[in-house]
Amino acid sequence: MGSSHGIMCVTITRIFKMTRLISPSEVEARTGLSPDVLRDWRRRGLLQLGTQQDNGRWGYVVGDVAQLAIVNHFTKWRIISDLSDAFHVAGFAVPFVYAAVADDPVFAKQVGELPYLAAFNVRQGERLQVETVYSLEETLRLRLPGFVVVDTRVLGEHLSDQLAGLFDKA
């Protein structure tokens, strides 16, 4: 299994330090998730993203919006239907979607070929383990009963219109 942990940490830090707070209405325009859905997820303990401002309203940084767009994509396409798992895997996908969508040639060159994300359980009831892989054979060698594979390049293509310019304004 490949590991891009160092790249992910640096990029996640960079993305989440983009401090411009985005309103729930812009989040809805970019992700398709209404403020009511976000409120419901927060009430149910599923949404840990966002910052409550002094006026009581919620704001979201660029990385939050990207993660929400990925979660919505996973659930709408029934790639990962459990919201907790969708948030978990989406967190790993954010830097790769950033590499695919943002106008950041330096980072894109660092990442190189966009990998697959393989999500699987080793034991029943555990949280999904997520690995970056560059060929599906790597995952097949584990002889797992099942797994979810996300092609981060294709995911970036699917989200490019929704997220266009998001990373530029931060």
Question: What is each CA distance from 6 to 9, 11, 42, 74, 155, in whole angstroms?
Answer: 5, 9, 30, 25, 21
Asked if the 5-163 domain carries CATH number 3.40.50.12780, the reply is no
Instruction: Check whether 4 has a pLDDT greater than 70.
Output: no
pLDDT value of residue 18: 62
Instruction: Check whether 163 has a pLDDT greater than 90.
Output: yes
- pLDDT average, residue stretch 28-41: 96
**Cα(111)–Cα(97) distance, rounded to whole angstroms?**
11
pLDDT category at 52 given cuts 50, 70, 90 is very high
pLDDT category at 3 given cuts 50, 70, 90 is very low
Tens digit of pLDDT for each residue in 61-95? 999 999 999 999 999 999 999 999 999 999 999 99
All structural domains of the chain with their residue ranges: 5-163
**For the chain, what percent of residues have pLDDT higher than 70?**
88
- Tell me how far apart the terminal alpha carbons of the chain are, to the nearest angstrom: 33
Tens digit of pLDDT for each residue in 143-152? 888 899 999 9
Tens digit of pLDDT for each residue in 115-162? 999 999 878 888 899 999 998 888 888 788 889 999 999 999 999 999
